Amino acid sequence: MSGPKKRVYIKTFGCQMNVADSEQMAQVLAEGFVPTDRPEEADLYLINTCAIRRKAEEKVRSLLGSLQVLKQSRPQLLLGVGGCVAQQEGERLLAAAPHLDLVFGTQGISRLPELVRRAGRGRRLVDIELAPGFPPQPRRHWAPGAIKTLVTIMQGCDNFCSFCVVPYVRGREHSRPPGEIIGEVADFLAAGGKEVTLLGQNVNSYGRGLSEPLTFTELLRRIDALPGLARLRFATSHPRDLSGELMAAFGELPSLCENLHLPVQSGSDRILQAMNRGYTREEYLRKVAKLRRVCPGLSLSTDIIVGFPGETEEDFQETLDLVRQAGFDQAFSFKYSPRPQTRAALLPERVSGEVQAERLGRLQNLLNELTFEAHQRLVGRVREVLVEGTSKRSQEELCGRLRTNQVVNFSGPRELVGQLVQVRLTEAHPHSLRGTQVEDSSITWPLAADPQAPQRRLSC
């Protein structure tokens, strides 16, 4: 492309993987477009979509409908829909929205510049090809001062949980070659970055099909060894494939944060089986107990679906019971939503919307209590905070996260943004904690005796 750069606005829905994909879209388009956060001045408006629940899909359709007005006022505007709904709907989206120029799927990002060029010549296009293998990734660049980043290490999913649309919209599971991943992390660290989150739908099965076989734990070891890495996280782990080797890594790798997202989905064996999850509640709880032995300070988060077809009050009680036993620090909970092509969508015995809402309310009350209790247990302790930014209200008000992932607000100079600082936690709130910076933390860490003490650079 020649001439002055045009402006691209990208609206992102969905999971962290979509956030990473949107960033990649901006990077592949960088030759011709600069990103803008003002949709009304965009020359190219891309919607990166999520199909995980019907509500997510409806949001996209409603935004797309509302953009008809913008398109009428700026006829030169190119409008594209990408991501999981695009992959699922393809031609149907184009047919339903005459003002839409371009539909591109979850693996079409590297082809985006060419698609945009062709759409700019007046062609209406659909590209939802799912190719085998991990697609080529452009070399990434980070804005000065970038603190944390997402690194995609896998694509797709082969698990076919009966409720889940991901295998249909993201295709088969493929692992990214380790050299590319390590190179990308090293580039980020060289640019001054501190925290890396590795992304895949089921990172525990990383390495299958690679020419040089490598387990996920070995990949973590290699990344942990890179100089300058302060914090390493990953998402998501499938409980069935959580290996002893990976659990042990929480006690061994200094950068690996004491924080694990381990979606359980249900506490009832009957429902877990109907979901095709491949583990029982007992197996799940056994793994949680083992993790807590290896790493007593671990914070555990999860995903739970309520009102899966056939779920009775007894099944739901088992979920509540498992939640109490596992002691989650944080959880995301959802009403079951039937998705196209999935096996569960064909099941009879749908749970009514009212019952789903009522169960979700009860579950969320319990989860909120547990999160608040976890925050209260931290009050009085000194913990390492990675300062991620200043608050919207004041430049003197800083915001960061613990290694265990809780949000912490405290007062301090903005020069601390991007730094690791020690903070004494003083107040627990439902969604965050408050604290005060501790200058010399060496005296205040009761390291050896206290299982809740910071684990950085110590065995858990």
Under the rule (CB under 6 A), what is the footprint of ligand SF4?
Answer: 157, 159-161, 164, 166-167, 201-202, 238
Number of residues that bind ligand SAH (CB under 6 A): 17
137 binds, among ligand SF4, ligand F3S, ligand SAH, none (CB under 5 to 8 A by kind): none
The set of residues, in sequence order, having a beta carbon less than 8 Å from that of 79 and lying 6+ positions away, is: 45, 67, 71, 99, 100, 101, 102
Helices (H) and strands (E) in the chain, counts: 13, 19
Alpha-carbon distance 234 to 225, whole Å?
Answer: 16
**Nearest in space to 157 (alpha carbons), one of 97, 238, 223:** 238
DSSP category for residue 256: B
CB of 286 to ligand SF4, least distance (A): 20
CB of 304 to ligand SAH, least distance (A): 6
Query: Interacting stretch for ligand SAH, rule CB under 6 A, among 92-100, 206-214, 330-338, 366-374?
Result: 330-338
CA distances from 343 to 4, 318, 347, 450 (A): 50, 23, 7, 47
381 binds, among ligand SAH, ligand SF4, ligand F3S, none (CB under 5 to 8 A by kind): none
CB of 166 to ligand F3S, least distance (A): 5
Stretch 137-166 residues interacting with ligand SAH (CB under 6 A): 163-164, 166
Angle at 144 between CA 140 and CA 148, to 5 degrees: 65
Alpha-carbon distance 413 to 415, whole Å?
Answer: 5
303 binds, among ligand SF4, ligand F3S, ligand SAH, none (CB under 5 to 8 A by kind): ligand SAH
Q: Which of 18, 137, 204, 236 binds ligand SAH (CB under 6 A)?
A: 236
Which amino acid appears at position 231 of this protein? R
The neighbour count for residue 114, using CB atoms within 10 Å, is 13
Query: Interacting stretch for ligand SAH, rule CB under 6 A, among 59-67, 280-288, 332-340, 368-376?
Result: 332-340
Q: Which residues bind ligand F3S (CB under 6 A)?
A: 14-15, 17-18, 50-52, 83-84, 165-166, 169-170
Which C-beta is closer to ligand SAH: that of 22 or that of 265?
265
The SS3 of residue 418 is coil
CB of 160 to ligand SF4, least distance (A): 6
CB of 280 to ligand SAH, least distance (A): 16
160 binds, among ligand SF4, ligand F3S, ligand SAH, none (CB under 5 to 8 A by kind): ligand SF4
CB of 156 to ligand SF4, least distance (A): 9
Q: What are the structure tokens assigned to 114, written together?
A: 């060419």
Listing DSSP states for 157-193 in one string gives: -----TT--HHHHH-S-EEPPHHHHHHHHHHHHHTT-
The neighbour count for residue 395, using CB atoms within 10 Å, is 11
Note whether 330 and 263 are within 8 A (CB).
no
Which C-beta is closer to ligand F3S: that of 167 or that of 207?
167
DSSP category for residue 140: P
Note whether 343 and 300 are within 8 A (CB).
no
The neighbour count for residue 415, using CB atoms within 10 Å, is 8
CB of 84 to ligand SF4, least distance (A): 11
Run of H or E residues at 44: strand 44-49
334 binds, among ligand F3S, ligand SAH, ligand SF4, none (CB under 5 to 8 A by kind): ligand SAH
Look at the chain and count its residues.
460
Q: Is 336 in the site for ligand SAH (CB under 6 A)?
A: yes
Sheet arrangement for strand 195-199: 148-152, 195-199, 231-235
Which C-beta is closer to ligand SAH: that of 337 or that of 404?
337
305 binds, among ligand SAH, ligand SF4, ligand F3S, none (CB under 5 to 8 A by kind): ligand SAH
CB of 363 to ligand SF4, least distance (A): 18
Q: Is 305 in the site for ligand SAH (CB under 6 A)?
A: yes
Which C-beta is closer to ligand F3S: that of 52 or that of 242?
52
Q: Is 59 in the site for ligand SAH (CB under 6 A)?
A: no
CB of 54 to ligand SAH, least distance (A): 8
Is-cis flag, bond preceding 426, omega within 30? Answer: no
CA distances from 452 to 294, 295, 379, 404 (A): 13, 10, 11, 11
CB of 372 to ligand SAH, least distance (A): 22
Query: What does the binding site for ligand SAH look like in residue numbers (CB under 6 A)?
Result: 52-53, 163-164, 166, 201-202, 236, 238, 263, 265, 303, 305, 334, 336-337, 339
